[in-house]
């Protein structure tokens, strides 16, 4: 038995359980287009994540500001992600129908079309997504008619929307990605989902809005990146508001619970988004998470890339 083999075996025994490191990828990039909440913080657009595989973008949620954040990430406006040219925004997944996650829907339908998208938008969402899309198209029918039949050289495809109602399980696949949907508990919403994306070189899980969930933990086991919503317990306590405390207990996940979940799932990187701090600081929130999770964790900002 060689000395080198013995050393490698000893290294594996001593360090085999250590947290794996997330390595850069030339195939898959995760771009945080929006990391905020309903609070109109100008530094945090509404929730939206782009998973870009081989320069093809797949959106999860489309909160306020989604198209402009995508444009900012594209080379046309000084960014580095070629796949986020707005005309390439063609496939999107919606975790649930809350307005902070979906208020960018008309923008996602219409702006890429006016910029030249020439295929329908494909949207996968909970029950009600078909009605939401239909009502939006009805609301903007005069705009669509004017662009189609006026002097503007608009095509007759890019404004259209094909909706697909989600169920649990495999909901989408192509040469770049496999997308699985799983149910989460978000207050009284009857249909709220998280997603697991499997690309050629990464597994990415997005929690959506949820309380602490064993389902999220199960789907996140061994993931390269877990993107999870979070609020600070210290910040909530500082507010001393019983109504808001009760609401968050039944709708969202405190930092300590996110850390405990991540300690079971062991993602290479834990990314915190949909962040609610109130009077707490980012360092306080990270301390809450790190009470039970010793892996890599970051608080995402808009336009961060992983």
The answer to whether 126 and 165 have CB atoms below 8 angstroms apart is yes
Question: Averaged over 272-286, what is the pLDDT?
Answer: 94
* Least confident span in 19-28, 56-65, 157-166: 19-28
CA dihedral sign, ordered 204, 85, 170, 215: positive
CA distance 144 to 150: 10
pLDDT of residue 18: 52
The answer to whether 160 and 147 have CB atoms below 8 angstroms apart is no
- How sure is the predictor about 244, in pLDDT bands with cuts at 50, 70 and 90? confident
Share of the chain above pLDDT 70, in %: 94
| Longest Cα separation, the chain | 80
CA distance 165 to 170: 12
Strands (E), the chain: 28-34, 48-53, 56-60, 91-93, 121-125, 161-165, 169-173, 178-183, 193-198, 203-206, 225-231, 269-276, 297-299
The DSSP-derived string for 110-152 is: HHHHHTT--SPEEEEESTTHHHHHHHHHHHTHHHHHHHHHSSS
Question: Between 300 and 13, where is the model more confident?
Answer: 300
pLDDT of residue 19: 65
pLDDT in tens, 181-228: 999 999 999 999 999 999 999 999 999 999 999 999 999 999 999 999
CA dihedral sign, ordered 52, 58, 63, 65: positive
Instruction: Show the domains of the chain with their CATH numbers.
Output: 25-299 (3.60.15.10)
pLDDT in tens, 225-240: 999 999 999 998 888 8
pLDDT in tens, 146-177: 999 999 889 999 999 999 999 999 999 999 99
Task: Work out the angle between the directed axes of helices 129-139 and 105-114 (0-180°, nearest 10).
Answer: 50
- Assessment of whether the complete model's pTM goes beyond 0.75: yes
Mean pLDDT of the chain: 93
CA distance 18 to 180: 28
pLDDT of residue 238: 87
Question: Averaged over 82-105, what is the pLDDT?
Answer: 98
Share of the chain above pLDDT 90, in %: 87
Question: Averaged over 79-84, what is the pLDDT?
Answer: 96
pLDDT of residue 43: 95
The catalytic position among 100, 209, 257, 302 is 100
The conformation of residue 238, written as its DSSP 8-state character, comes to: H
* Least confident span in 2-6, 103-107, 186-190, 270-274: 2-6
The conformation of residue 88, written as its DSSP 8-state character, comes to: G
The torsion defined by the Cα of 104, 110, 115 and 118, in degrees rounded to 10, comes to 120
The Cα angle at residue 250 between residues 244 and 256, in degrees rounded to 5: 90
The answer to whether 117 and 89 have CB atoms below 8 angstroms apart is yes
The answer to whether 235 and 61 have CB atoms below 8 angstroms apart is no
| Catalytic annotation present for 304 | no
């Amino acid at each position: 038995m060689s000395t080198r083999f013995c050393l490698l075996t000893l290294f594996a025994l001593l360090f085999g359980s250590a947290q794996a490191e997330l390595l850069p990828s030339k195939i898959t990039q995760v771009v945080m287009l929006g990391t905020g909440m309903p609070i109109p913080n100008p530094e945090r657009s509404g929730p939206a994540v782009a998973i870009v595989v081989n320069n093809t973008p797949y959106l999860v949620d489309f909160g306020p500001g989604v198209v402009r954040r995508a444009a900012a990430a594209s080379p046309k406006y000084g960014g580095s992600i070629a796949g986020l040219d707005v005309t390439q925004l063609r496939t999107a997944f919606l975790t649930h129908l809350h307005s902070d996650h979906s208020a960018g829907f008309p923008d996602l339908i219409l702006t890429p079309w006016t910029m030249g998208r020439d295929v329908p938008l494909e949207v996968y969402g909970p029950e009600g997504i078909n009605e939401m899309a239909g009502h939006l198209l009805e609301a903007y029918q005069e705009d669509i008619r004017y662009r189609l039949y006026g002097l503007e050289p608009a095509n007759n495809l890019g404004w259209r929307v094909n909706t697909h109602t989600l169920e649990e399980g495999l909901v989408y696949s192509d040469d770049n990605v496999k997308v699985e949907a799983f149910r989460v508990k978000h207050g009284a919403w009857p249909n709220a989902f998280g997603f697991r994306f499997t690309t050629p070189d990464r597994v990415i899980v997005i929690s959506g809005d949820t309380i602490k969930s064993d389902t999220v933990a199960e789907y996140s086991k061994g993931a390269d990146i877990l993107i999870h919503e979070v609020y600070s317990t210290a910040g909530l306590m500082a507010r001393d508001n019983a109504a808001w405390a009760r609401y968050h207990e039944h709708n969202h996940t405190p930092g300590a619970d996110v850390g405990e979940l991540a300690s079971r799932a062991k993602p290479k990187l834990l990314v915190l988004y949909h962040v609610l701090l109130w009077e707490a600081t980012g360092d306080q929130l990270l301390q809450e998470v790190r009470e039970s999770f010793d892996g890599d964790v970051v608080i995402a900002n808009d336009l961060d890339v992983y």
